[in-house]
Amino acid sequence: MRNQQRTPAVNFDEIPGKLPEGKVPEGANHSDVAKDAINKLNDLQPNHLHDDAVWRDLLSFTGTYRTLNSQGTVFKTLQHLSKDKRRSPFVAKDHEPRVGRTADGTSWLDIDVVFSTTQDGLICDCSGIVSVVHCSDGEWLIWMLRTWLECFEGNGHPDTLEPTSTTNVLTGAGSSNGTSETRNKAIPDYEAIVVGGGQAGLSTAGRLEALGVKYLLLERRPEIGDVWNTRYESLRWHTSKHYGSLPFGHTYPEEDDYMLPAKRIGAGHRAWAEKYRINLLTNANVESASWDEATQLWTVNASLPASKQSFTTRHLVLSVGPGHLTPIFPEWAAPDKVTASGFRGTIVHAGSQYKSCGPWVGKHGVVVGTANTGHDVAEDMANASMTTTMIQRGATFVFPVEWLHHAEDIHYNPNMDPADADKESFTYPNKIMREIINRAVWTGIKYNPDRFDALEAAGFKVDRYGDIYNNLYVRFGGHYVDIGASARIAKGEITVNTKSVRSLNESGIVFDDDSEISADLVVLCTGFDHDFRRDAAKIVGTDVAESMDDFWGVDGEGEIRGHAKFAGHPNLYYHGGDIRMGRFFSRFVALQIQADVLGKPLQRYTD
């Protein structure tokens, strides 16, 4: 067994980094401020940096994902890596500086820059944003720097791929448009194999296509998009369709619903794969993958309807979902307990079994769990005139959907390429973006209490000042983006029971206080076992899975652990996450693979 790599998880409050005090003065000449900031950056001195300086780098200097904090650390590391990577001068892009701000009035100036670094003769074209804040003494100081790798000069760009005029029938592997000369004597069938055709897997395959890397995508379902087509019928994105695009532009046309239903998402994925002629095999269930030290290759074994096939590859990307294959059942709902109880109704898990409540119109329905899925299912039941009860354990953070859409629409809209939106809005250090969002949300809650008061009056336990970043990146969910169910709870159309469940009986659910409720249908919205190693081990084996870093949660710099980077084993990556993360970080997975294919693997900076 290889050495286990385990990055400790921390709470967001333990991570350094905070928003500065200061405002961009009325009448400030933004162009002059920008020129001064870039001059300072190119001749950097410690006193040019704010005391709370923060720098997030995505591959361009560090070869990985790092967030560095404090004036001294940022100065020392940027100076060292600028010399080591032979950084070119920072140059302003032909964009006007922009004012960034928080809900409570703090503001700063964002300035777009370009530069290059060099690794073993490979020129890395890079971009960044430098943020300067006006301090109380009248001085403008560099507070935040964001830098990322765009592409390797002369070797394509991960955000650019022209549609093909031909159609891939999506039933067998064709030849990839790109080829590359390997530097080792063992020649693989592919430079990269991507397992899983959801948002992250498709995005990674598309980026590899754009970069000319020979790859194959293997999807176990009959068609691309079935990951969405097989979910419950009422499922729709709570985020906007523009937020959920795949790479290379806007995936969904304007006539589509703003919040896409599941089947339309699936159809969009399939059409996108055809449009860009993604090289893939469907109905390909990957049974195993093994690493050969001698050849430095993976052998991937897949079962297809009519045969079994093996492929060799230099890089393996697992995009099988971050622990969404093993549903969690409460102890009282374990199959043996259900059988012993004599329960005459139906009990299903929402994530793997539930489709709709059509057969139970007018009957008694119970939903266990109060996150997004639980509210969706409860609305299904209410729409079917069922007597609907939600069983709630802990308090739930409720996030009004109109607030979410207002925030998303700033960058994710028909007039802005999603690639540009990602770079502007998703390159922030996670700790800083968390602070920006929390200030906005908590301000909104403070001045708009009625929705939350009404929920509490109906018996719903509200985590009123919740932390959306903690829910997304630590808890794997647990919140509700309110698209309408809260109003129905307030009206009594959906009732809430916060007692602890003890067991089932013939007619329904029994609580610890011996009270009972009738149930013809019980839907468990209790989530999944998010130990991704369980899912990885089914493919790469237990020894390799145990050598992989922890996945999800944040490290001491606020970066997502084990995500979209070398996973503690040669040429193995684990890439999953939410829809925007799947799209954005796929560009960096593809660039890491391309660097290795070019014979210049990225050197990861550790201090």
Any long-range contacts for 487-490 (C-beta under 8 Å, 24+ apart)?
Answer: 487/454, 488/378, 488/379, 488/382, 489/390, 489/455, 489/458, 489/460, 490/451, 490/454, 490/455, 490/457, 490/458
Confidence of residue 173 (pLDDT cuts 50, 70, 90): very low
Count how many residues are written for the chain.
607
pLDDT at 410 over 60: yes
What is the pTM (predicted TM-score) of this model?
A: 0.94
pLDDT given at position 139: 94
- Which helix (H) or strand (E) segment holds residue 310: the answer is strand 308-318
Instruction: Please give the average per-residue pLDDT across 302-319, as a whole number.
Output: 96
Instruction: Please give the average per-residue pLDDT across 151-180, as a whole number.
Output: 66
Instruction: Please give the average per-residue pLDDT across 507-532, as a whole number.
Output: 93
pLDDT at 532 over 90: no
Other Cβ atoms within 10 Å of 334 Cβ, number: 11
pLDDT given at position 527: 86
pLDDT at 577 over 80: no
pLDDT given at position 165: 59
* CA–CA distance, 228 with 371 (Å, rounded to integer): 19
pLDDT given at position 324: 65
pLDDT at 546 over 70: yes
Can you list the alpha helix ranges (DSSP code H) found in 121-279? 199-210, 226-229, 262-275
- Per the DSSP assignment, residues forming a β-bridge with 147 are 57, 128
Instruction: Please give the average per-residue pLDDT across 536-557, as a whole number.
Output: 91
pLDDT at 442 over 60: yes
pLDDT at 159 over 80: yes
pLDDT given at position 322: 66
Q: Which two tokens stand for residue 508?
A: 């329904």
Task: Give DSSP secondary structure letters for 388-441.
Answer: EEEE--S-B-EEEHHHHHHHHHTTSSTTS-HHHHHHHHS-S-HHHHHHHHHHHH
CB 589 within 8 A of CB 207: yes
The proportion of the chain whose per-residue pLDDT surpasses 70, expressed as a percent, equals: 95
- What residues contact 490, with CB distance under 8 A and at least 6 apart? 451, 454, 455, 457, 458
CB 452 within 8 A of CB 398: yes
Window from 14-28, 297-311, 398-412, 543-557 with minimum mean pLDDT: 543-557
pLDDT mean across residues, the chain: 92
Question: Structural domains in the chain?
Answer: 12-152 (3.10.450.50), 190-321+537-549+569-597 (3.50.50.60), 331-524 (3.50.50.60)
The alpha-carbon radius of gyration of the chain (Å, integer) is 25
Can you list the alpha helix ranges (DSSP code H) found in 196-286? 199-210, 226-229, 262-275
Which is it for strands 122-134 and 107-119: parallel, antiparallel or unpaired? antiparallel
pLDDT at 445 over 50: yes
pLDDT at 167 over 70: no
Instruction: Please give the average per-residue pLDDT across 151-175, as a whole number.
Output: 72
Instruction: Please give the average per-residue pLDDT across 229-247, as a whole number.
Output: 94
Provide the residue type at 344 as one letter: R
pLDDT at 568 over 80: no
At how many degrees (to 10) do helices 401-409 and 430-447 cross?
Answer: 130
Window from 310-314, 468-472, 482-486 with minimum mean pLDDT: 468-472
- Per the DSSP assignment, residues forming a β-bridge with 302 are 286, 309
Window from 245-259, 391-405, 486-500, 565-579 with minimum mean pLDDT: 565-579
pLDDT at 570 over 90: no
What is the per-residue pLDDT across 246-269, written as a single tens digit (0 to 9) for each? 999 999 999 999 999 999 999 999
pLDDT given at position 552: 86
What is the per-residue pLDDT across 417-440, written as a single tens digit (0 to 9) for each? 999 999 999 999 999 999 999 999
What is the SS3 assignment for 22? coil
pLDDT at 178 over 50: no
pLDDT at 477 over 70: yes
Residue 17, phi-psi category: left (phi > 0), alpha (psi -120 to 50), beta (remainder): left
